[in-house]
Amino acid sequence: MTINRRTLLKRSALLAAALATTKQNAIAKALEQTGLKDLYKNDFYIGTAIGNARLNNPPAGFNALVAREFNAMTMENDMKWERVHPEPEKWVWDHADKFMALGEQHGMYMVGHVLVWHSQTPRWVFNDDAGQPLSREALLARMKSHIDTLAGRYRGRVHAWDVVNEAVDEDKGWRKSPWFNQIGPDFVDHAFRYAREAAPEAHLLYNDYNMHNPGKREFVVDMIKRLKKNGVSIDGVGMQGHVGLEYPDIAEFEKSIEAFAAEGVAVHITELDLDMLPVAWDHIGAEISDSFEYSDELNPYPNGLPADMEEKLAARYAEWFKLFLKHRDKIARVTFWGTGDSESWKNDFPVTGRTNYPLLFDRDYQRKPAYHAVAALKK
C-alpha cells in the first residue's frame, strides 16, 4: 500500500499528540506520587502531627497522603502524660503503639511529644497520697520513672523527643509551674539527663512557643549555655511556629534561628500552622488554658475562606518557607501541627466552634493554593 505525504504527516501528528498526551499523563502521575518531602529532601524533614482520631479512623486515602507528603511524624496528644500515664499504676499504650507502627511502616522520622510539661499532666503527678505537694526528691523520682518507662519503651525507635515543653514565660524568666516550684530551675537539667539515659540515640529538644520574642530568645540561649556548661546533653530547640498573617515579625523569628544555631544546636520548626482568624487575645501564644467566648466577629469565614484570603495564606506560607530555605543549614525539620484544616486545634482555640484554615490541605485533604506556593519554591 502506498502512503502519500498527507497521510504520513497526519499519522505523524497523531503519533506526536499521543506521545505528548502520554508524557503529560506521566508527569501528572509523577506529581501525584511526589510530595513535599521529596521536593525538600535535600533541605529538611517535612512532618505532620497525627492525632488518635485520624490514627484510628482515617478518612479514605489519608494514610497514603501522609506517606506521600511527609517523612516525619509527631504524636499529637497520646504520648502526653494525661493520655499515656493517666493514673499512677496505669499506662495506655494502644494509641502510641499504633502511631509508631504507622510511622515505621513508612520509614518516618519519629518524634515523641512530650516528656515533661506543666500542662496536660494529671494533678496526682505533683502530689502525695494526702494531696500535698511532693518533695523535690520524690517529684524527681516520679519524673525519672515516667521518662524511663515512656522513652525506654521506644528506645531506638523514636528519633527525637520534646524533652521539656514551654518552661519559659515571655519576659519573666521561668514559668512558675509545679515542676519549677517543687524542684527548682534544674528540673530541666534532670529531665534531659533522664532522657539521655533512657534514649541514648535520640535527638533531645527543648520546645516552646513565641520563640521570636527577644526576651524569651535570650533566656533560652542562656539556658542552653548553662545546660552545656553543666554537662547536660541538648541537641536542638523546637520553635513551635504558631503564626498568623500579621505576626510574628519574621525578622525576629530569624534572629532566634540564628541565635540558637550559634549555640551549636539544631533548630526544629515543630508545630507550624497559620491562623487565618482575628486574634482573640492581647498576646500571641499557644497557652492552652486561655479561652474566649464565641462571637461572629471572631468567626468570619464559617463557610469557606474567600479567594483573596487564600491568596494571602499562600503568600504568607511562601514567605515563611523562603526563610526556612535560607537557613536550611540550621533547620533539621519543619512539622505542621496537623494535616488537614478539619483536624486543626485552631478551630477551637482559643474560641470554641470557629472554622479556621491554617494548614496546606483543606477539609477534604485536597492541596490548597498555599500548598502549591510552598511546592513552587522547589520547582
Lookup result for grid cell 519524673: 143
Query: Which DSSP letter does residue 156 get?
Result: T
Q: According to the model, what pLDDT value does residue 197 have?
A: 98
Residue 227 has pLDDT above 80, yes or no: yes
Residue 337, amino acid = W
Q: Is residue 79 part of a domain?
A: yes
Stated as kind and residue range, the H or E segment containing 116 is strand 109-117
Q: According to the model, what pLDDT value does residue 312 have?
A: 98
Query: Which DSSP letter does residue 75 get?
Result: E
Q: Is residue 124 part of a domain?
A: yes
Q: According to the model, what pLDDT value does residue 282 have?
A: 42
Q: Is residue 29 part of a domain?
A: no
In CATH, what number is assigned to the domain containing residue 315? 3.20.20.80
More confident residue, 250 or 6: 250
Q: Is residue 271 part of a domain?
A: yes
Q: Is residue 367 part of a domain?
A: yes
Residue 23 has pLDDT above 50, yes or no: no
b/e code 37-69 from CB counts within 10 Å (16+ = b):
bbbbeebbbbbbbbbbebbeebeeebbebbbbb
Question: Could you list the active site residues?
Answer: 271
Domain count, the chain: 1
More confident residue, 16 or 329: 329
Q: Is residue 319 part of a domain?
A: yes
Q: Is residue 164 part of a domain?
A: yes
- Average pLDDT taken over every residue of the chain: 91
Domain span including residue 208: 34-284+291-376
Q: Is residue 246 part of a domain?
A: yes
Q: According to the model, what pLDDT value does residue 279 have?
A: 84
Give me the mean pLDDT over the 337-349 stretch. 94
Residue 31 has pLDDT above 50, yes or no: no
Q: According to the model, what pLDDT value does residue 50 have?
A: 97
